Structure 1
Amino acid sequence: MPQAAMTAAPPFFGWRVVWAAFTVAVFGWGVGFYGPPVFLPAIQAARGWPVALISAAVTCHFLLGAVIVANLAALHGRFGIVAVTRAAALASAFGILGWALAAEPWQLFAATLLSGFGWAATGGAAINAMVSPWFARRRSAALSTAYNGASLGGILFSPLWVALIAVLGFVGAAALAGGAMVLALWWLSGRYLAPTPASLGQYADGEAAGGTAPAGAAALPGRALWRDRRFLTLAAATSLGLFAQIGLIAHLISLLIPAMGAQGAGFAAALATVCAIAGRTGLGWLLPAEADRRRALAAIFALQVCGSLVLLAAGGVSVPLLLIGVVLFGLGLGNATSLPPLIAQQDFAAADTARAVALVTACSQAAYAFAPAAFGLLRTIAEPWLFLAAAAIQAAAAAVVLGRRAAA
């Protein structure tokens, strides 16, 4: 029998990369995204600093992360995805330890330099950079699976942070969680993120040929991307959509407590997260490769408009309507991060996709950093304004994402 027939082809490595990226997302969101809202009351209780001051540090954390995200593709190109991911794990660990040890406000803001970098290099753009080289036709399913690590990070880490801080104190909790993140991501990066399809003799999707850029997509070097209508509409729509999502979610539990009680509000928040996973997974696996992904994102925004209006109609008292609103809004939560990279794949040349995704992520992160404060201001005027604002902003996002196509 010929030697070639006796040698079995190695299994497709791409799905192992997906699960490694999933784990990175669990830690990245669990520490860098869901951590700061828990850190805020812990720091306030320990130091007695004004909430406004600590909130400003949280905003600084996300804004600094946005600056790093905008340059993430260049960092990956220069240092490699393994080195950048390992550096991010170290930065996150030392950054959150700095939050816990800060004795003066300036030390807290200095710590955000590290934590912001760690969040940026383990967030949405980083996950896309890890997974995308391995998938073209099936990228939607692969990214939706990897991004579900973000939702799991919220489910696991939000209560875990509270429990660890209660038992070990903030410093002990930061040291334990940060150490676990470093150990896990250091090994995963070297084992699963170092190989490339070419180094293993494989192709995208595990098939005989890799995916290609959409027909007619031309490269946009330098600043040409910033003048492209497709990029501008995608960045604006994503920024608007996530601004509305983060702004409403930041206040949702406290808005639900009067009607549902603290335990019921916590259940509703968990329900929103479960719906986010279900919505992202369902769309990721069922969306055809040739489908217009901008229309899919517009439909997601429209679904959240309906959710916001149902929450408004509940009047803060109707529990069934509140739950329906949470479900409708929650179904769109995950897709606001997983669909933009897929739209970029469809709209841009392969050489521009990673940079476009990083810049879109940076723009949206810079926008949503201010969302909790902006929605808090609306809440001081009248609570119904939060739901009206969320619905109006999501409707605008849907309109913007459809106003896309300039000739390439």
Structure 2
Amino acid sequence: MPSSAPLPSGDISAGHSPTKSQIRRWRQYLADERAEAAVYRDLASRRSGEERAILLALADAEGRHEQHWLDLLGDEVGRPLRGDVRTRVLGFLARRFGSVFVLALAQRAEARSEYADDADATPTMAADERIHEEVVRGLALRGRNRISGTFRAAVFGANDGLVSNLALVLGIGASGASNQAVLLTGLAGLLAGALSMGAGEYVSVRSQRELLEASRPSDQARAALVHLDVDANELALVYRARGMAPEDAQARADAVLGSPGTSALTLPPPEGVEEVDEHEAIGTAWGAAGASFCFFASGALIPVLPYLLGAEGLTAVVWAAVLVGVALLGTGATVGVLSGASPAKRALRQLAIGYGAAGATYVLGLAFGSTV
């Protein structure tokens, strides 16, 4: 958790008068710290237990940073300023949602701290911000695991729907087909693709869950524990087969057999690592299938919209490409935020991949055009 070491008083304690530039910067830092503390308190109001306590501790840490800037400013505090735009947006989301999405944004905000490069901030404050990022990353971990299966299916479905149907529509349109033929092709691609994606996700997730289930100890094996020969202790072989050293396996088996009524055949997680429910991380087969179907259909509808609204020729092509481009930027940015990466880089990557695939199909349509 954040350090509680006392903060030095900076230039003022050294007898130096702060410059106007410093005062402006300190005031903005003060406003940002207050806004970030409010975000953590808002998030805490939607949590309970240990998670709530951690978020309130983060708010207290931001309060110590706030005091540092108050000490430096002295009589120059002036009227309260608003936090920067990103922090205000984060606060708005925290008050209304309090989800893993907000925690992911908070993680990114902590990672952007400028204290390490600012001589007026202390090394302790810079270190605090780095640790805050890891604390928030840990808080977001469970939420990311919980949505990862459905989220993966949703992102994959939406992106596939956008790119594949845009490529299909542009390719058929460039071949010289009529608007009616392009529209029917796009709608057929939407329905066929959504059904295929939904069925594929169901089979994929169901199969993966069954593979995981096959790796778990059977109920019959647990029931047999009470009848094992304590001297032979073949239970140690189970743990050795799962990768434990012979000595550790023997000690673990002895402990299990020495606890009447135990059914613990599973291995404990590595020291310091929280055990993750693999089934929770994968998601349910029906949830993944539904997300994939709905998001593919939603994505595949976008390149068809201009044709549904009566646009023709190059106008329809341009509108389809623009609408899909905006959607690709949105899905890429969302993935970036939730993964703790740069939203801009992920958005541009999605756009480049999508336009690359659609552009190749459009060129092929022009090359092999017909008069359909």
TM-score tier after normalising by the smaller chain length:
under 0.3
State TM-score, norm by structure 1: 0.23
State TM-score, norm by structure 2: 0.25
Structure with greater helix share of residues: 1
Higher Rg of the two aligned structures: 2
